[in-house]
Structure 1
Amino acid sequence: MKISVLPADRMKFLIADRNRKMAASAHAYVRGSTSRFYQWLENSERSSLPEGPELWICGDCHVGNLGPVASRSGALAVQIRDLDQTVIGNPAHDLVRLALSLATAARSSDLPGVTTALMLERMMDGYGAAFAPEAEHETADEAMAVPKTVKLVMRQASRRSWKHLADERIEGMDPVIPLGSRFWPLTNEEHEAVRALFDTDRLRALVTILRNPGEDDHVKVVDAAYWRKGCSSLGRLRMAALVKVGRGRSARHCLMDIKEAVQASAPHAPDANMPADQGERVVMGARHLSPFLGTRMASAPLLGKSVFVRELLPQDLKLEIETLTRDEALNVAEFLAHVVGIAHARQLSVSDRSAWLAELQRNRSRALDAPSWLWNSTVDLVALHEAAYLQHCRRYAFEEKAA
């Protein structure tokens, strides 16, 4: 029996869902604890991180936030795919966040600690390669071999169509969003606000941007619902809108993701010149870090909140990495770090790239070809997350028992 959650009951169900997801594994807990990550990092007694050049960073750079993304022209590449936390800040924060994610993925795969040490070495190799003077690649797969795990997801993404997206997201081809465990009803006010949103020139332009020139650009919201999704966006406005573009037999449907943008937990540079509007901050960060995705996004006000909107494409997938072999773990670490490196490097001049690369080479020990600040931060954070994860599971077990 499907449960359709009323608007007044959303928070109760969202909290329970988040607790369940975060109890699934230590790696899942990392994905849902961005704020605590920065609190722990700030309070760490280890050596401080290097001050990198001020540029747009992801801010929540874990494995699940990277994956295949389609461009407006239909090209496909692995890029950063979640930019809620993007700010102008220290690129070292993205490296530490990615290292923690990879380390917990390795532990979930029952790989020894030696593998984690080697993963960090390969991470720095992949990241540093993006800053070499001759490195002008737009995507990571142009520069290095794609790991098998990533290649399988890329192949799956390249074969997907609207039918796959409809079956996966809205459970069929009918122009309706079925209410149930995933999608919940909106209030009348929320329905009207979504319809009004897509009557604006900015959103009409976004919906029609992927269509062929000359096509009928008539835009109509067919259905909309609250979307139960994610761990870190608890309590934020999140909606799905099914929109029809054109008329008659030539009309096409598209699924739009509407997400509230709030103040980022990631620390930003004190004098950073970022948009005051949170939705515009996310869009601007996306255009610098993940151009395939950024050009398909727009910000707007909705019900007194700042939101950002994007069309969901069948090719957009997240990397779900739960089990890895030793060799695959090393290859994935190098490749994903190179993806992040390209996103950072494209924002810098040649001289700034060289200066940051030189800074990254410092503090490397003879025993470990990775900077001590990265290793020490990862060790501290793994220990803190493991303890917090077990405490979370204990609380979750008591809640389940009481229920």
Structure 2
Amino acid sequence: MPVKTENAEQLSRADREARGKDAQAVAPLESNAEFTPGPSRDPVGLLLEQEKTRVPELLPVRHGRMLVSPFTFYRGAALPMAADLATTPTSGLRVQLCGDAHLSNFGAFASPARRLVFDVNDFDETLPGPFEWDVKRLAASLAVAGRENGFTAKARRKIILAGAESYRTAMRAFAEQPFLAVWYAHLDVEDAIAQFRSQMKKKRVKATEKMVAKAHTEDSTKALRKLTTQANGQRRIISDPPLIEPVEQLFPDVRVDAIYKLLREVLGKYQRTLQSDRKHLLEQFTLVQVARKVVGVGSVGTRCWIALMDAGDGTEPLFLQPKEAQASALAAYCGRSPYASHGERVVAGQLLMQAESDIFLGWTHVTGPDGVDRDYYVRQLKDWKFSFPIEQMIPSGMAAYAQMCGWSLARAHARSGDRITLASYLGGSDQFAQAIADFAETYADQNDRDYAAFQAAAKDGRVQTTTDI
């Protein structure tokens, strides 16, 4: 198991609750507010060191995206924050961490039952670690995003408290439920809209419902129309360097048939990581074309691909997204992964934390044309995926969103950690939430300073950037 709870289920409830109280002695609830930056902090240096294994020509794109705002910088700065969190008090209560639980790494996607569900949806950094780290990463992101949206300090605090209190009260509720009930719990998007309808203005309700309806169209068929064109009677991925580049263009000195022979072998290895029914499903599709595609902010520079598959005569598409999995940003501070493959690490963490996961989620290993071994995980590119537009949120909308994120994160942690011990530590008052809100604003101040340092590094040439892509 990725997270060892020392046979918590065999302990009495009283013993598990006592562990939570003991953890309060190690890290009092008010200590969650603490953060003092170390004198030798070098966030820019950490980011540049992290990038040494990434695609060099894509790094200016990453830097340009991080320079857009303090919030986009925050999205790309999981590693500096992990280093900072390692200096803060921790309770010793471990769970499977997302590792990068900022509010843009939550979103909606299709469940296998074809319902739109809301959950954590990014696991590149997942590892077991102190539960507080995910909560603090989420809370600080609310503070940073709230500032960017022009919210007052009072409004931001209400939003952060809403998220932190949602986490605490959800964990205490999960502590009273059978473990199987916790395991099956999920957040249905349409149910959530109904729940928060009274807190939202009528036009916001309509806008949200419109986004939900649009999400149902975000699938491989739409991606086919957007990303491909007809050429000589075949569907071909549209080249848009450096954002999208077919493999034939990336490796012009390698024979095309040799490239695709390797790619089919790689897909075969990935296919073996799927459960049998999904393996059968994937066998109905044949590989058409592969391209490298730039995605996200923090992920730019890792090797990410899109693979166009088809099960018919060009009318039954499936887009898979193999994405490189490198060492977690948490590894230096939480310990190495128990998995030999970082692709398997990501998949195992996702399956443990998510209520329902992509049916094509799997992993593989690739020796590239450059002779370097790399780990990948694979999922669908489009399956009703959508993210709420953070920049368009008003305070009440962001507060409702924070509650959804807090609940989802608590449910994810309750699956992997000892929910009864965690609930006991969190307690029956809002003391934990108040401390987290204090931390969030303190860290948002630090993020502003780090963003300014990153801007200065771009100006003096230490960081190469391009902002026109």
TM-score bracket relative to the smaller structure:
0.7 to 0.9
Partner of 2:402: 333
The equivalent residue for 1:120 is: 160
1:145 partner letter? Q
Q: Percent identity?
A: 19
What secondary structure does 1:313 align onto?
coil
C-alpha spacing 1:60/1:276, structure 2 compared with 1 (3 Å): same
CA distance 1:389–1:363, shift in 2 (3 Å)? farther
Offset of 1:20 from its aligned partner? Answer: 1.2
Structure 1 residue corresponding to 2:187, chosen from 140, 143, 146: 140
Q: Could you say what secondary structure the match of 1:293 adopts? A: coil
Distance (whole Å) between structure 2 residues aligned to residue 314 and residue 273 of structure 1 = 29
Task: Mark the CA change 1:383 to 1:170 in structure 2 (over 3 Å): closer, same or farther.
Answer: farther
SS at match of 2:123: coil
Helix, strand or coil: the match of 1:344?
A: helix
SS at match of 1:21: helix
How far apart are the structure 2 equivalents of 1:289 and 1:230? 21
Structure 2 residue aligned with 1:186: 250
TM-score normalised by structure 1 residue count: 0.82
State the alpha-carbon separation in 1 of the partners of residues 163 and 72 from structure 2: 21
Question: Shift in Å at residue 140 of structure 1?
Answer: 2.6
TM norm structure 2: 0.71
CA distance in 2, matches of 1:204, 1:43: 38
Which residue pairs with 1:393 in the alignment? 455
Q: Distance in 2 between matches of 1:98 and 1:56?
A: 15
SS in structure 2 at match of 1:96: helix
SS of 2:387 mapped into structure 1:
coil
Partner of 2:10: none
Larger deviation, residues 287-296 vs 105-114: 287-296
Q: Which AA in structure 1 matches 2:433?
A: A
Quote the residue 1:64 is aligned against.
104
Q: Aligned with 1:198: secondary structure?
A: helix
C-alpha distance 201-272 of structure 1, shift in aligned 2 (>3 A): closer
Q: How many residues align?
A: 378
Cα distance in 1 for partners of 2:337, 2:449 equals 37
Moved more, 14-23 or 288-297: 288-297
1:205 CA drift (Å)? 5.4
Q: Is the 8 A contact 1:150 1:332 kept in 2?
A: no
Question: Partners of 1:152 and 1:207 in 2: how far apart?
Answer: 37
Distance in 1, Cα, partners of 2:279 & 2:394: 39
Within 5 Å, give how 1:317-396 maps onto structure 2. 317-348=386-417, 352-361=418-427, 365=431, 370-372=433-435, 374-396=436-458
Contact 1:198 1:219 in 2 (8 A): no
* Counterpart Cα distance in 1 of 2:124 and 2:77: 13
Cα distance, 1:218 vs structure 2: 4.1
Cα–Cα, structure 1 residues 266 and 152, in superposed 2: closer, same or farther, change >3 Å?
farther
Distance 2:313 2:159 in 1: 54
Specify the code of the residue in structure 2 equivalent to 1:385: N
Separation in structure 2 between the aligned mates of residue 139 and residue 232 of structure 1, nearest angstrom: 27
Q: Alpha-carbon deviation of 1:228?
A: 1.7
SS in structure 1 at match of 2:86: helix
Distance 1:70 1:210, change over 3 A: farther
| Other structure's SS at 2:454 match | helix
In 1, distance between residues paired with 2:304 and 2:132? 30
Provide the residue aligned with 1:21 in structure 2: 65
Aligned to 2:343: 279
Counterpart code for 1:24: V
Structure 1 residues 396 and 217: CA distance shift in structure 2, 3 A: same
1:34 aligns with 2:78: yes
2:299 equivalent in structure 1? 233
Q: Is the 8 A contact 2:294 2:300 kept in 1?
A: no
Instruction: Mark the CA change 1:204 to 1:183 in structure 2 (over 3 Å): closer, same or farther.
Output: farther
Q: 1:204 to 1:248 in 2, by over 3 A?
A: farther
What per-residue deviation string (whole Å, max 9, x for no partner) do you get for residues 257-281 of structure 1? 1111111112589688832221111
Give 1 or 2: higher helix fraction: 2
Taking the aligned partners of 1:25 and 1:388, their CA distance within structure 2 comes to 12
The answer as to whether partners of 2:365 and 2:375 remain within 8 angstroms in 1 is: yes
User: Structure 1 residues 197, 207: CA separation in 2 closer, same or farther (over 3 Å shift)?
Assistant: farther
Q: Assess, with a 3 A threshold, how the Cα gap between structure 1 residues 260 and 207 changes in structure 2: closer, same or farther.
A: farther
Separation in 2 of the partners of 1:98 and 1:171? Answer: 40
CA distance in 1, matches of 2:313, 2:322: 26
Q: Which residue of 2 aligns with 1:259?
A: 323
Report deviation, 1:209.
2.5
Q: Please give the alpha-carbon distance, in whole angstroms, between the structure 2 residues aligned to 1:66 and 1:210.
A: 28
Counterpart residue identity of residue 378, structure 1: A
Cα RMSD for the two superposed structures: 3.4
Sort the Cα spacing of 1:201 and 1:30 in 2 relative to 1 into closer, same or farther, 3 A: closer
With over 3 angstroms needed to count, the CA separation of the structure-2 counterparts of 1:138 and 1:153, relative to structure 1, is farther
Partner-residue secondary structure (3-state), 2:379: strand
Alignment of 1:165-176 (within 5 A): 165-170=223-228, 175-176=235-236
